[in-house]
Structure formats: C-alpha cells, structure tokens
Amino acid sequence: MRFDVLTLFPDLFGPFRATGVLGRAVETGLVEIVTHDLRDWADNRWRQVDDEPYGGGAGMVIQAPPVLAAIRDIVAGRPGRTVMLSPRGRLFDQQVADELAGESRVLLVCGRYEGIDERVAEILQPDEISVGDFVLGGGEVAAMVVIEAVTRLLPGVVGDPESVAADSFFDGLLDHPAYTRPPEVEGHEVPDVLRSGNHEAVRRWRLERAVTATVTRRPDLINRHWDRYPHEVRELVRRLGGGPDGDLGTGDSREAT
C-alpha cells in the first residue's frame, strides 16, 4: 500500500516511517510512504503558499492553486483515495481505518495555519477526516495517526495477526487488561486465572474485562456496535446494566466473574 502525504513539513515523517512495526513494513516493501512538499507547487520565488484571509482575521490561509496543482499532479494516472485532514471531517475510528486499508493508495493532505482555502474542497470534494475534537498545529500528526492505524491492518505488517484482532476497538470493545512479569508488584498480583493454563478460562476472563471496561468507560461504543456483537458479548453487557436502549454504564457496574 502507498501513502502520499502533501505537507509543508515533509521532514517530520523521516523518523516516523523508519521506526518500529511501520519501519519494518516500509523496509520490506509492504508499505510505501512518499512525502511531497507543498512549496514545490508555489508560483513565486519565495515558495510562499499562504496569504491573508479575505474578510480579515488572525492567521494565514493556505492558497487553493498550489494545493489543487499538487493533488492533481500526485494522483495523475494513479488511482486512490484523497483524504483531507480536517476538523469538520467524519471522525476517524477503527471502521474508517479498515475502510482505508482496502485502498491501494491514499493521499493525505495536511493543512496548517487557519486551514486550506475552501475552494479546494469545493472543487475536488476529497474525503474529509478528523482524528478528534481537539486542536493541532497542522495535519501532520493526524496523518501519522491514520497511517499507523491503517498500516496495522495490512496483511503481513504485524507479525502475530491475533494481536491485531485483540486490539481495542477492533471488535467494538476496549482491550482487556494486560500483565507481565514479575507476578507481584507492590502488593498487586497477576490474576490467578492468567497463570492457570486454562485457555478457555483465560479467554472468558479477558472478554469479561473487555466488556466491563467498555460499558463503564466508553458506553457510546455499545450503542455504536451493538448489532456487531455476538450473543456472548450482549449477555455480558446486559449483566452489567448496559444495552443499546438502556442507561448505559449506570446499572450494576460490578465486574463480571
């Protein structure tokens, strides 16, 4: 899979694409990340691509002509999805990550300052995506979030596919608690079931803790994914006082056993 990133700060992606699981995916050719400096499409010798906003106000706005020219050059003859990182876009979540993982190529357009001239969205109608309701200095960190989440879903990127399937949000639940050595830390011991060797008991314990965490901490996920849950998960949710139509997270919040 190929990611193209249109940005004013391409150097930010150097260490990112050379580190960890993503770095190995790039090194082995499973993933390609190509950055493009928006200033290369400036039409002036100062390489300026921003200007003052019409109507006045603080800050600068990225001009439409260089962005339009850059996107058209980058995607020319190479099909794929163009994504503009924008606070007004649809919320990025695991389902959107899975959707993008089905593409062979994604172009991520990173804004800066007060944003990108509205006419880029009007003319090209890109897929606008937001990584959350908070303010960032630009779209670069958001682009990294998208790349990281999507890359993990690609075949062969993560060594153990089961670790992807067990990730938080993958199946509409938060992840279960994780423990490692030593078995006791400041009086807190690893639950006995995890050292029992009983694989079914471990599976059930982990599922119960995942459901408990989701009902008590992120009840919104229950409503969103209810139709996807198997019967076993729905029964655990109901035991904890949750459900798609109930007052989620306010019932019996004791841990399932």
Q: Are 220 and 249 in contact (CB under 8 A)?
A: no
pLDDT in tens, 99-118: 999 999 999 999 999 999 99
- 70 and 196 both lie in a single domain: no
CA angle 4, 10, 15 (to 5 degrees): 95
- 202 and 145 both lie in a single domain: no
Q: Is residue 160 part of a domain?
A: no
- 248 and 177 both lie in a single domain: yes
pLDDT-based confidence at residue 255 (cuts at 50, 70, 90): very low
pLDDT in tens, 176-207: 999 999 999 999 999 999 999 999 999 999 99
Number of domains in the chain: 2
pLDDT in tens, 34-74: 999 999 999 999 999 999 999 998 899 999 999 999 999 99
Token pair listed for 62? 């990225």
Q: What is the mean pLDDT of the chain?
A: 91
Helix, strand or coil for residue 113?
Answer: coil
Residues classed as catalytic: 87, 114, 152, 167
pLDDT at 129: 98
pLDDT-based confidence at residue 253 (cuts at 50, 70, 90): very low
Whole-angstrom Cα distance, residue 53 to residue 17? 34
pLDDT-based confidence at residue 162 (cuts at 50, 70, 90): low
- 28 and 137 both lie in a single domain: yes
Helix, strand or coil for residue 22?
Answer: helix
